Amino acid sequence: MSAKYRLFGSDLSPYSVKVRSYLRYKKLPFDWVSKGFGTEKEFQGLAKSQALPMLVSPNGGIAHDSSLILSRIEDKVKSPAARPDYPPSQALSLLLEDYADEWLNKVMFHYRWGTTAAAKASATRQADQIFAGYDVQNRADIEKSIAKSMTGRLKLVGSSKKTAPILEASFERFLKLLNAHLEHHLFIFGGHPSFADFALAGQLSQLLLEEKPGQMIRDTAPFVSAWVEFMEEPRAGAPFDEFANVSDTLLPLIRDEVGATYVAWTEANAESIAKKRKTVTVKIGEDEFKQGVQGHSNASLDTLKAAFAATPGDEAIVEFLAAAGLTDTFPLGEPTPEPEAVPEAKEDATVADETTEVTPVEETAQASESVPETAVIPDEPDAPSDDAEADSEDNSKTDA
């Protein structure tokens, strides 16, 4: 068995770019296998899903879900860290990761396939990837088929003439707020990249390929543009920063964009699913955003809420969530109790019996314990198979 991971992916898949960047950061040896005509047979022989990426571990385990891949590897390979030291920052990192995977992906898909010109250019790019190194006689027909298939999925991610202004305003706002934050920080939480950095940069790497958003990023967000380039193969700088040093510019990003769009939408999505509705309608700003319900996004929200519930609610994060308007959405755990004061020993204190047993602290047991490879939740659990990786009716994430 090879001692390397094998990552099947595409340069046009934001989730593939996310995992590839993370593996490079962790300095884990891996082979990049570009999914296409020449590798399709091997991919199908291993795949548990049609979703990209597909990571094959050295022991043969298969994983498709990018968030689960990062989490499992982080549990095993602690350094360089991608989880901030401060537990509330860890939870906020997961919130931003979900925002990227579930909402910013809608924006990316909208810009990639939302106009005839963009769809034509994107279909050509897709075909270049799929058939790299091969001559295909019916290439023009294939490109038309790709464009037709992908534009037909726009409504599944919530992109339409009515929602286009919402998605585009969201992107402009996000870009401005993220640029303001990165002007002062190497990464979102300081000197190390977090899960949020990998997820956001993965989506932005695709938006940079598209004419309109790409030009917008280069013209109006120079710090974002440089950061996305650096995230191709990031290296840790200083330690994660103190929360107080990142919170001032992080708050507007969470409050004015993430909370106003993704959180509002995902809560409305959860409510629609609970009431067995087929569509979700939510007011974002002054406009209504409407699309089909997304089951996978609801599961992600449950996981995210559990992460916040496991986070001790100290004063800093309590104030932050209150200012962001997210106190009710993400209830925190109980604050960590202050350690009891140890009374000073008296000079004539009785010495413990030499036969007293002391239980040693098992410092390495959890870190070294093997985490088994099991079946995983794919990024696109119900996506049908076709040449271009796409969205399913039960999932807002799209790779292409």
Pairing of strands 54-56, 5-9: antiparallel
Tell me the pLDDT band of 339, cut-offs 50, 70 and 90.
low
Averaged over 86-115, what is the pLDDT?
98
How many residues belong to the chain? 400
Spatial contact of 160 and 139, defined as CB atoms under 8 Å apart: no
Of 346, 310, 305, the residue nearest 328 (C-alpha): 305
Residue 10, pLDDT > 60, answer yes
Averaged over 338-365, what is the pLDDT?
36
Residue 363, pLDDT > 90, answer no
Angle (CA) 311 313 319, round 5°: 125
Q: What percent of the chain has pLDDT over 70?
A: 84
Averaged over 327-331, what is the pLDDT?
97
- Per-residue burial over 57-79, b = 16 or more CB atoms within 10 Å of its CB, e = otherwise: beeebbbbbbbbbbbbbeeeeee
Which residue is it, tokens 């796409």?
390
Mean pLDDT across the chain: 87
Averaged over 46-50, what is the pLDDT?
93
Burial class (CB in 10 A: 0-12, 13-18, 19+), 194: buried
Spatial contact of 17 and 202, defined as CB atoms under 8 Å apart: yes
Phi, psi of 126 (to 5 degrees): -60, -45
Residue 367, pLDDT > 70, answer no
Residue 6, pLDDT > 80, answer yes
Give the full edge-to-edge strand order of the sheet including 5-9.
30-34, 5-9, 54-56, 62-63
CATH of domain 87-324: 1.20.1050.10
* 9-23, 139-153, 342-356: the lowest-pLDDT one: 342-356
Angle (CA) 338 245 243, round 5°: 35
Helix axes 195-207, 222-230, angle to 10 degrees: 110
pLDDT in tens, 380-395: 323 323 333 333 333 3
Residue 350, pLDDT > 70, answer no
Tell me the pLDDT band of 337, cut-offs 50, 70 and 90.
low
Phi, psi of 279 (to 5 degrees): -125, 160
Say what the pTM is.
Answer: 0.86
- Taking the C-alpha atoms of residue 27 and residue 74, their distance in angstroms, rounded to an integer, is 12
Q: Which of the pair, 366 or 372, is modelled with greater confidence?
A: 372
Phi, psi of 240 (to 5 degrees): -55, 145
pLDDT of residue 335: 83
Domain ranges of the chain: 5-81, 87-324
- Taking the C-alpha atoms of residue 240 and residue 393, their distance in angstroms, rounded to an integer, is 38
Do the domains spanning 5-81 and 87-324 agree at the CATH topology level?
no
Topology of the domain comprising 5-81: Glutaredoxin (3.40.30)
pLDDT of residue 343: 52
Residue 148, pLDDT > 90, answer yes
Distances (CA, A) of 24 to 9, 27, 100, 236, 288: 14, 5, 20, 11, 41
- Taking the C-alpha atoms of residue 213 and residue 151, their distance in angstroms, rounded to an integer, is 18
pLDDT of residue 338: 62
Residue 91, pLDDT > 50, answer yes
Residue 299, pLDDT > 50, answer yes
Residues 6+ positions from 342 with CB-CB distance below 8 Å: none
Phi, psi of 309 (to 5 degrees): -65, -25
Averaged over 109-117, what is the pLDDT?
98
Averaged over 47-51, what is the pLDDT?
93
Q: What percent of the chain has pLDDT over 90?
A: 81
- Taking the C-alpha atoms of residue 118 and residue 20, their distance in angstroms, rounded to an integer, is 26
